[in-house]
Amino acid sequence: MRRAALLVLLLVALTGCGINPPDPDAAGGPRAIADWQPPEAPEDWRLRGRAAIRVPEESGTVSVDWRQSGERYRLDMRGTLGAGALRLEGRPGRVVLRRGNGDRLTADSARRLLRQTTGFDLPVERLVWWLRGQPVPDLEGTVTLDDQDRPASIEQAGWQVTYDRWLEVEGYQLPGRLSVKRDAVRVRIAVSQWDIGP
């Protein structure tokens, strides 16, 4: 009788100490972007580096020089994939694309202009956020953090952004290498230099 009572007490104690599943946030798993406070990032900056772009049946590299001042930007690209030399200048609602041969095109979307001109798909309006390790505002998605609370990956609108190197620039933690992919489109960006300020 005593053994039976002890067995019942032991089972009750073990039940009370049941193992809870790990908290996905504590374990470094994905969390909703709405539940994450991203670190500060500069508003005015310049990035220089190279991008390797792979699209169906084609791949190549371009040099990248991106200057951002608030909501205005200028993006220069030189390289393969039919791009030659391109300059995108944008502000809300208007984008101008200039080619090395003097052609000039305008539209309300940089992504559409690049797709028409080069055949490859770059979500430029979203890249301005992802390049700085930030989520696109007002767009749902998930983020996975590394052991220093920086994003290891961000997923939004079907795009997966992965970060594998970071640089400290004037007190900011900014990506040094990242990849952006969706379906058969993949862009790998290696940053050689960040400059902060207008």
Q: What is the pLDDT of residues 150-192, one digit of tens each?
A: 999 999 999 999 999 999 999 999 999 999 999 988 999 999 9
CB atoms within 10 A of CB 146: 13
Give the global pTM.
0.81
SS3 9: helix
The verdict on domain 24-192 having CATH code 2.50.20.10 is yes
Question: Residue 107: CB partners within 8 Å, gap ≥ 6?
Answer: 95, 97, 113
Question: Residue 143: CB partners within 8 Å, gap ≥ 6?
Answer: 30, 31, 33, 36, 135, 151, 153, 154, 155
Mean pLDDT of the chain: 84
Torsion of the alpha carbons at 185, 73, 46 and 153, rounded to the nearest 10: -40
Nearest to residue 97, comparing CAs of 84, 110, 80? Answer: 110
